[in-house]
Structure 1
Amino acid sequence: MPLNIPILLTWLRIILIPLMIALYYVPEAWVRGFGRDLAATLIFVVAAATDWLDGYLARRWQQTSAFGAFLDPVADKLMVAAALIVLVWLGRLDAVLAVIIIGREITISALREWMARIGAHRSVAVSMVGKIKTTAQMVAIPLLLYYQPLAGLDVFRLGTWLIYVAAVLTLWSMGYYMRMAWPHLIEQDRQR
């Protein structure tokens, strides 16, 4: 396993996940209401920033690796899934939205793995819709974690709207990826 700064940043993102979850399980005397939400928001934002930074540094320093290419999306999906589950548990997110987003991530990850196995991984490369979906999701989650109004802005309402946008784009991008993979799926069936 290669060990470099980009991979260490990815590992940091994975380590931050249980820390964010633990905030909601420690005794109330340790971290109270808003402090808990603020700390969870900051942890998520730092984790999301490492997602951008590890990719940037890996490309800039030419430290890309097969292990890093595997670990980075796993860390991303774990981070988002954990945050969504926490938000459902807190009553700030409808479970249906969490299932849509997490279910899509699992489906597309499996599809990408299968497409790579048959040599057609370029057919399911990240699309612009997928990038916009990720951006909406990565802005919505910290807003929902933060929860409290900020400078007169209803953070929770904005986060709720953005997570609905992310859910719609989730379904749209899943349809796009499935449509791109469909000819390969048909071809594989014919070869059997």
Structure 2
Amino acid sequence: MRLTLPTLLTLFRIVLLPVMVIVFYLPVAWANLAAAGIFIAAALTDWLDGWIARRYGMTSAFGAFLDPVADKLMVAVTLFLLVQQNPTELLAVTSAVIVGREISISALREWMAEIGQRAKVRVAAVGKIKTVVQMIALVVLLHQHEFPELRLYRIGEYLLVAAAALTIWSALVYVRAAWPVLRARDEAGEQHTEQ
């Protein structure tokens, strides 16, 4: 297994997660700002490793596996931190929707890959929009500072609700793309049972 620069950036993103957690809980006034900064740095490495891999042909099987794992860990860990610090119904439900979708669609993609149909559940445009909205929401919520003229935290909550809605929409897009394959496999199984 060779470690390419994009894969090293992905590993760096994973290493940043425990650092972000530690910083988030530091008993200092700037802890939230620093945690938000670390999250931004991790999000930028996500964009950078993909760009380098495509631009310079530095793709690898390990990198292709690790990149989505790092993305999902980054989002899940951040949501857990936010819900623990602000245990509201809104934040808990939207976080559950987002994490639940990530687990479900990852399982769907894995199954589709096993049967050689991975291309049917490629990342859709709505998935990319969801990711951008979600990342902005998480940065705003991590920052958590209220300005009298701009209720930043409330904006973050609205953005996270929008991300959760886009999450459901993108999940439906992926299931719809996979549905013919799922149905065909079921029908083939039924025919095999009848014989």
- TM-score, normalised with respect to structure 2: 0.91
Q: Which amino acid aligns with 1:130?
A: G
Q: Is 1:97–2:117 an aligned residue pair?
A: no
Task: State the shift of 1:142 in Å.
Answer: 0.5
Task: State the shift of 1:153 in Å.
Answer: 2.9
CA distance in 2: counterparts of 1:149 and 1:131, whole angstroms: 29
Q: Tell me what 2:144 maps to.
A: 147
Number of matched residues?
A: 187
Task: State the shift of 1:180 in Å.
Answer: 1.0
Long gaps (5+) in structure 2: 190-195
Q: Tell me what 2:180 maps to.
A: 183
Q: Which structure is larger by alpha-carbon Rg, 1 or 2?
A: 2
Q: Is 1:138–2:129 an aligned residue pair?
A: no
Q: Is 1:63–2:58 an aligned residue pair?
A: yes
Task: State the shift of 1:60 in Å.
Answer: 1.1
Within 5 Å, which residues of 2 pair with 1:32-47? 32=28, 34-47=29-42
Q: Tell me what 1:10 maps to.
A: 10
Within 5 Å, which residues of 2 pair with 1:73-92? 73-91=68-86
Contact map agreement 2:144 2:153 (CA 8 A) in 1: yes
Task: State the shift of 1:191 in Å.
Answer: 2.1
Q: Tell me what 2:106 maps to.
A: 109
Q: Tell me what 1:52 maps to.
A: 47
Contact map agreement 1:130 1:169 (CA 8 A) in 2: yes
CA distance in 1: counterparts of 2:24 and 2:37, whole angstroms: 14
Q: Which amino acid aligns with 1:67?
A: F
CA distance in 2: counterparts of 1:12 and 1:150, whole angstroms: 33
TM-aligned CA distance change 1:151 to 1:135, over 3 Å: farther
- TM-score, normalised with respect to structure 1: 0.93
Contact map agreement 1:92 1:144 (CA 8 A) in 2: no
Task: State the shift of 1:188 in Å.
Answer: 1.1
CA distance in 2: counterparts of 1:129 and 1:159, whole angstroms: 20
CA distance in 2: counterparts of 1:152 and 1:50, whole angstroms: 32
Q: Tell me what 1:156 maps to.
A: 153
CA distance in 2: counterparts of 1:84 and 1:175, whole angstroms: 22
Contact map agreement 2:4 2:60 (CA 8 A) in 1: no
Contact map agreement 1:38 1:145 (CA 8 A) in 2: yes
Contact map agreement 1:112 1:124 (CA 8 A) in 2: yes
CA distance in 2: counterparts of 1:161 and 1:116, whole angstroms: 35
Task: State the shift of 1:92 in Å.
Answer: 6.5
TM-aligned CA distance change 1:168 to 1:138, over 3 Å: same
Task: State the shift of 1:84 in Å.
Answer: 0.4
Q: Tell me what 2:123 maps to.
A: 126
Task: State the shift of 1:25 in Å.
Answer: 4.0
CA distance in 2: counterparts of 1:150 and 1:74, whole angstroms: 35
Long gaps (5+) in structure 1: none
CA distance in 1: counterparts of 2:182 and 2:31, whole angstroms: 46
**1:23 is paired with a residue of what secondary structure?**
helix
TM-aligned CA distance change 1:51 to 1:92, over 3 Å: farther
Q: Which amino acid aligns with 1:6?
A: P
